[in-house]
Amino acid sequence: MPHVGVLGLQGAISEHIKQLESIGCTAAVIKTPSELSSIDGLIIPGGESTAIKKLMDIYGFTDAIQSFSKPIFGTCAGMVLLAREAPGNPDLPLGLIDLVVQRNASGRQRSSFETSLAIKGLDEPFNAIFIRAPYCLHASEEVEILSAYDGHIVAAKQRGILVSSFHPELTGDPRFLRLFIQMVKEA
């Protein structure tokens, strides 16, 4: 199984580590850019995108992640950070997946919800947890849409980048994570 890192600056770090370990991966919390060279794939967790980006800039992760040549999976805030564009937030996106993503598009914390989603690559629906979730407003033709909810793209991939606006790490279901692990193995 691959060795996967979780960006350890802010957000749902331990939840991703637990889910990775539950499927037999070795996992590491990544706290410095130099640690990126020791992993086969990186997860940018959900959390607060502006806080994560500020910490990325302070600790030198912005350029390191933009030049990271292995698969990356971004959940929620990670989706915003990996996007090409985030309207009203020009300093956030790293431009690694050709999406335009709106932060907090699903509303405030109290508007959080769970729903059953059909996801390309999964045989059965996935129970998705949305917490102040971003929505994709636009995707280029090069982006593969994996799932949509209420007319908005909520999961997609392009080359070695996988994103979801929901939090698969908060479920007991590792199937969505396995999609990323398959990308890591194929890389």
- Which residues are marked as active site? 76, 167, 169
State residue 72 phi and psi, 5-degree precision. Answer: -130, 140
Number of alpha carbons in the 13 Å side-chain half-sphere of residue 24: 3
Buried b (16+ CB within 10 A) or exposed e, 49-59: bbebbebbeee
What's the chain's Rg over C-alpha atoms? 15
**Sole residue written with tokens 């991939």:** 157
Element (H, E) at 181: helix 175-186
Taking the C-alpha atoms of residue 129 and residue 39, their distance in angstroms, rounded to an integer, is 27
